[in-house]
Amino acid sequence: MPPKPIFPGSFDPITLGHVATVRLASRVFGGLTIVVAQNLEKNSLFTFEQRMDMTASAVKDIAGVSIDSFSGLLSDYIAQNGVGVVIRGVRNSMDFEYETQMSRLNAGLTGAVTLFFPSDPRYSHISSTMARQVAVLGGDVSGLVPSKIAGKLKMIINEQL
Ligand code: COA
């Protein structure tokens, strides 16, 4: 039985692209754990609690998916939890270059293998940055984030403005 994989990310916010990767990977592995980074190197628009909450809502109908979090280095989480497989979605060659570097770092530190899932072509132009910008400028985010969280995302942003 292969170890249950993890799908780590900032999820600031979770997008339709992330959810497609979760669906695909959990179908292949019979489930996975989404691991939300608490402290980000980049400035986040949403708090850790908001990112956890939106991520959980977005995937609650996908069988076998659980949510966890980590702070600090991902490799420490991998080592502490005996993770064997890390999943990452790859949209284009830039993602591939970056993710290859990260996978080598994590493999060197922990022995964990990273598997790349090609992004769903319907969503390969989407990023969390794009979803944030559209939401902040009052646009329609329904083609960018799951419908379950679109309302919540706009509400949080309206409260911040
Ligand atoms: N389809 C569409 N878009 C996708 C996608 C997919 N399948 N997969 C990722 N993306 C996009 C996201 O929307 C996001 O867009 P953005 O750049 O505009 O924010 C981007 O790709 C990546 O975001 P995300 O998937 O949420 O992860 P991340 O790259 O922000 O974070 C961590 C990944 C958490 C694993 C990484 O930052 C990390 O390990 N941090 C901890 C510190 C650490 O260990 N560092 C090691 C180096 S020293």
Ranges of each domain in the chain? 4-126
Distance 17 CA to ligand 1 centre (A): 12
Mean pLDDT across 105-134: 96
Distance 30 CA to ligand 1 centre (A): 23
Dist. CA 50–CA 69, nearest whole Å: 13
Distance 78 CA to ligand 1 centre (A): 16
Residues with CB under 6 A from ligand 1: 8-11, 15, 17-18, 21, 37, 73-75, 89, 91, 105, 119, 123, 126-129
Task: Say yes or no to pLDDT of 161 above 80.
Answer: no
Task: Say yes or no to pLDDT of 2 above 70.
Answer: no
Ligand 1 pocket mutation, candidates 14, 18, 133, criterion most atoms within 8 A of CB: 18
Contact of 141 with 131, CB cutoff 8 Å: yes
Looking at the CA of residue 10, tell me the nearest atom of ligand 1: 26
**pTM confidence score:** 0.94
Q: Does domain 4-126 have CATH number 3.40.1590.10?
A: no
pLDDT of residue 149: 95
Task: Say yes or no to pLDDT of 56 above 90.
Answer: yes
Q: What is the mean pLDDT of the chain?
A: 94
pLDDT of residue 39: 83
The residue among 53, 71, 61 whose CA lies nearest residue 8 is 71
pLDDT bin (cut points 50, 70, 90) of residue 44 is confident
pLDDT of residue 3: 64
Task: Say yes or no to pLDDT of 1 above 90.
Answer: no
